[in-house]
Structure 1
Amino acid sequence: MQTILIIAIVILALLVVVSLVRGIIAFMKSTKVDLESGQVDQVSEMQLMQNKMMFNRIKYQALAIVVVAILLAISQ
């Protein structure tokens, strides 16, 4: 059981990193588009993607914390 939980933690940590990187890339693209177009009033597709990726990052971090709590509970 502990092995499964450790694998789940590793997978969730990788998902956190992937979401973080994708969110940062979306942020850089949206900033570049905003600077080139001069329009900052509209919400762009990249900004929506950035928000989605950052929400995913928070979700995966929360799940990883839950798995760590379960792992600590069953190991004692």
Structure 2
Amino acid sequence: MQTTLVIFMVLAAVATLAVLARGIIIMARGKDITGEKSNRMMSLRVALQALAILFIVILFLINRPG
């Protein structure tokens, strides 16, 4: 169970990094005048970060003593 959660946490963190990099590339190119793609990438990044934090919290709850 713990190993699975750690794997999911790492995957969520890597996905967050990938979305962050993609968002930065989109902004750097300057072709997204309306900012629609940038906003979508930011929303996805926040969701993936929340998912990674959720996995961390679950791991802490599973591993707490008592």
Compute the TM-score of the two structures, normalised by the length of structure 2: 0.88
Q: How much does 1:50 deviate?
A: 1.1
1:57 is matched with which residue? 45
Q: State, as a whole percentage, how many aligned pairs show the same letter.
A: 39
AA aligned to 1:56 is L
2:27 is matched with which residue? 27
2:59 is matched with which residue? 71
Q: How much does 1:69 deviate?
A: 0.4
Q: Structure 1 segments of 4 or more deviating over 4 A? A: none
AA aligned to 1:51 is N
Quick one: distance in 2 between partners of 1:61 and 1:28? 22
Q: Gaps spanning 5+ residues in structure 1: where?
A: 35-41
Which protein has the larger Cα radius of gyration, Structure 1 or Structure 2?
A: 1
Give the superposed CA RMSD. 1.5
Compute the TM-score of the two structures, normalised by the length of structure 1: 0.77
